[in-house]
Structure 1
Amino acid sequence: MAAHADKPDTFDPFGIAASMNEWCCLVKAARELKDVDEEMMETMLEANATGPASLSPEAGVKLRSLVNLMRSLNLDPEAIRRRDPETMRELETACLRCTERSRCARELWAGTAAYPEFCPNAAGIDRLRGQ
């Protein structure tokens, strides 16, 4: 028989166990979404690869950075790819040629997205953002 919701658990009067259980469920869901996102990215990279050779691991990381930057700026890279594949290819090409990979990763990790200072895609991204 289930305990009444208003009656506190004698072993967990503050509801910490329930909160931890909810948090663990959220973390599990986040991990599953991350796995789906990574799988989708791999599929997109494979579909977008030109020629018989596939992208190098470094190129894949750079393109993931582009996608993460776009998402941090509320741009949907998949929608842009469907709507305007040429623009997305131009962004990817510029990203692959970029020499600021470490700075890009730091900015994305910090959540600062100070891309206009160094990103070769700054003008294209700003155009997509309507700025």
Structure 2
Amino acid sequence: MAPSSNSMEALMGLMTTITRWRSDRKAGHELTSLDADELGALARDVGLSPDLLTRLTARGAGGGGELPRLLRAGGIVPERIGRTHPDVMRDMSIVCAGCLVARRCRRDLDRGWAPVVQRYCPNTETIKALQAERCHVVS
């Protein structure tokens, strides 16, 4: 008997999750295997402190994935911000990737509660400034 498409989708999702987890662990291990000078050089190359680079790497490849969702929910096109204000987008991405309440944010966004997220999001003031600058989606 052939497996159903639902069970195949679940299996593929599980395999994707495992692959991502292994990749994230490998990246974290590679970073922790660097000595202090190498870590410092790498951090300088990407414009971060060694501590922040380590914390961001620990979150894995999905770290900061909530930001585009939050921006879109507020009527902002993330790609446009990336083109018009690349430094602002980079800074907001770093803040988001290092955020300690990402799980809560993701859950609230899944529920459609973007206004609730803006009550505790460390990027809220920047998002409001972008909205005021009319970086909205053109209707």
What TM-score do the two structures reach when normalised by structure 2?
0.51
**Higher relative contact order, structure no. (Cα contacts within 8 Å, ≥ 6 residues apart):** 2
Q: Does 1:85 align with 2:86?
A: yes
Q: Greater share of helix residues, 1 or 2? A: 2
Note closer, same or farther for the CA distance 1:67–1:60 as it changes in structure 2 (3 Å cut).
farther
Unmatched 5+ stretches in structure 2: 1-45, 48-52, 134-139
Separation in structure 2 between the aligned mates of residue 93 and residue 74 of structure 1, nearest angstrom: 21
Deviations 1:4-46 (A, max 9, x none): xxxxxxxxxxxxxxxxxxxxxxxxxxxxxxxxxxxxxxxxxxx
Partner of 1:123: 125
For the 8 Å contact 2:69–2:109, the answer to whether it is kept is yes
Unmatched 5+ stretches in structure 1: 1-49
Query: How far off its partner does 1:64 sit?
Result: 1.6
* Coordinate RMSD, CA, aligned: 2.5
The percent identity for this pair of structures is 31
Query: How far off its partner does 1:78 sit?
Result: 0.6
Separation in structure 2 between the aligned mates of residue 78 and residue 60 of structure 1, nearest angstrom: 19
For the 8 Å contact 2:81–2:89, the answer to whether it is kept is yes
Separation in structure 1 between the aligned mates of residue 110 and residue 121 of structure 2, nearest angstrom: 15
For the 8 Å contact 2:71–2:127, the answer to whether it is kept is yes
What TM-score do the two structures reach when normalised by structure 1?
0.54
Query: How far off its partner does 1:61 sit?
Result: 2.1
Query: How far off its partner does 1:69 sit?
Result: 0.8
Deviations 1:79-101 (A, max 9, x none): 10100101101101111221001
Spell out structure 1 runs of 4+ moving beyond 4 A.
Answer: none
Separation in structure 2 between the aligned mates of residue 86 and residue 99 of structure 1, nearest angstrom: 22
Deviations 1:44-99 (A, max 9, x none): xxxxxx48x9x748343232210111111111111101001011011011112210
Matches within 5 A, 1:1-131: 50=46, 56=57, 58-113=59-114, 114-130=116-132
| Structure whose alpha-carbon radius of gyration is higher | 1
Number of residue pairs matched by the alignment:
81
